[in-house]
Amino acid sequence: MPDMKGLNIQGNSKTARSKNGRYVIIKTGPFSCALLIDNQPPQEYHDTHGRTIQSIAVSDTGLIAISLDSIGSSIVRLFNGGLNVIFVVYDEPWQLRFGTGLSLTPKGNMLAIGSPGESKVYTYDLDTAGSILKYTKKLIVGPNFEGFGWKVGLSEGGNSLAIASPSSNVDSLDVGAIHVYALVGGTWESLDTLLYGTEDSLRIGIGGVAIDDQHGIVSVQDNNLDHKKTFMVRVSYEWYSQLHFF
């Protein structure tokens, strides 16, 4: 059973660590970050085009996904950090806010990209080098004007996906919502019940979301990464129901 204090949440703008704890990415400035592997000296990355880092994820294999925000567009860049040297293996440019949400499976074989500007989430399988296999693209379209895809979280096996909509409104409050999807027959199927924030916990999932479909757990955190909540849920295609949170 995983630690009930919360799952490993990736895709925020400040730091990310692999599930096995070996790789840690730390944002060191608006355009730069550092990769720490075990006790070795950090490897630095600096975007020479002045694009702002908006989200970071890293797998147990040292594959790194970083979303960079520029004027009018964004780019998701994949790096290989497994050889103690950061080098680019793939670029995927798209519209503004593309990649605000990022999640990699621990094996580095699947990537989820949130694109809240168009209320969509993209998932791709990755090859052994870390490049996106475009023919595997799956698209999820969510509700408009709710920030759908602001943060995303793949389960370890890539069979479930949690998606944050931090601007989802209830009773004139942006409480936010977490949508959960299951991969059934090669298609992402929406599960019935949503997790909603509360008056004391607005814009749920704005700082990140993670899901464990083996134990029925969803974790969320705020934008400052200070507060994390963990929900016990039923995650299955037969539908899912919220039980309680810690």
User: In this predicted structure, what is the pLDDT of residue 54?
Assistant: 92
With 90 as the cut, is the pLDDT of residue 232 above it?
no
Confidence of residue 63 (pLDDT cuts 50, 70, 90): very high
Confidence of residue 82 (pLDDT cuts 50, 70, 90): low
- Residue 213 to residue 216: CA distance in whole angstroms: 5
Domain 15-245 has CATH 2.130.10.10: yes
User: In this predicted structure, what is the pLDDT of residue 55?
Assistant: 94
Mean pLDDT over residues 177-197, rounded? 87
User: Helix (H) and strand (E) counts for the chain?
Assistant: 0, 21
- Residue 204 to residue 61: CA distance in whole angstroms: 30
Strand 101-104 with 87-95, pairing: unpaired
Rank 38-52, 130-144, 181-195 by mean pLDDT and report only the highest.
Answer: 130-144
Q: Which amino acid is at 72?
A: G
- Residue 38 to residue 160: CA distance in whole angstroms: 29
CB 209 within 8 A of CB 231: no
Among 30, 7, 16, CA closest to 63: 16
CB 237 within 8 A of CB 186: no
Confidence of residue 111 (pLDDT cuts 50, 70, 90): very high
Q: Which amino acid is at 96?
A: L
Domain ranges, ordered by start, for the chain: 15-245
Confidence of residue 4 (pLDDT cuts 50, 70, 90): very low
With 50 as the cut, is the pLDDT of residue 65 above it?
yes
